[in-house]
């Protein structure tokens, strides 16, 4: 919500929903083409990612560019990693029953 609003307003194509901790550690727009492609390929938004997921994407992109001299791609990422979607919260792990 924006300051003074009681319900979410429609975002423009230039707006991104993020969290202050992401900004404090340097995850600021504009995002890399690989990062955007990964979000689109998995049909997720930045708010769906945990810090470790963001770190995994960043390290993968860095390794591709700096050590292997290839552009990171979703296809190459999928060769090494798989997405695990959580269908429900386990009440025994960090959740109130």
- For residue 82, what pLDDT is reported? 85
Which residues lie below 8 Å from residue 42, measured CB to CB, with a gap of 6+?
83
Which residues lie below 8 Å from residue 78, measured CB to CB, with a gap of 6+?
none
Nearest Cα to 19, choosing from 58, 38, 43, 45?
45
- How many alpha carbons lie under 13 Å from residue 64 in its C-beta half-sphere? 17
- For residue 95, what pLDDT is reported? 41
- For residue 57, what pLDDT is reported? 92
Which tokens hold the place of 60?
A: 């993968």
Q: Is the pTM of this model over 0.75?
A: no
Which tokens hold the place of 12?
A: 């423009």
pLDDT per residue, tens digit, the chain (97 aa), is 667 777 777 777 777 777 788 788 778 888 899 999 999 999 888 888 888 888 899 999 999 999 999 999 999 999 998 877 666 555 554 444 3
C-alpha–C-alpha distance, residues 47 and 22, integer Å: 10
- For residue 49, what pLDDT is reported? 83
C-alpha–C-alpha distance, residues 26 and 10, integer Å: 26
- For residue 20, what pLDDT is reported? 82
Q: Please, are residues 9 and 2 in contact by the beta-carbon 8 Å criterion?
A: yes
């Amino acid at each position: 919500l924006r300051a003074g609003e009681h319900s979410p307003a429609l975002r423009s194509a230039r707006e991104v929903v993020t969290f202050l901790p992401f900004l404090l550690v340097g995850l600021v727009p504009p995002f890399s083409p690989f990062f955007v492609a990964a979000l689109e390929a998995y049909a997720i938004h930045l708010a769906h990612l945990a810090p470790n997921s963001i770190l995994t994407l960043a390290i993968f992109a860095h390794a591709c560019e700096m050590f292997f001299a290839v552009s990171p791609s979703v296809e190459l990422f999928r060769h090494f990693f798989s997405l695990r979607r959580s269908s429900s919260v386990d009440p025994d792990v960090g959740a109130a029953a």
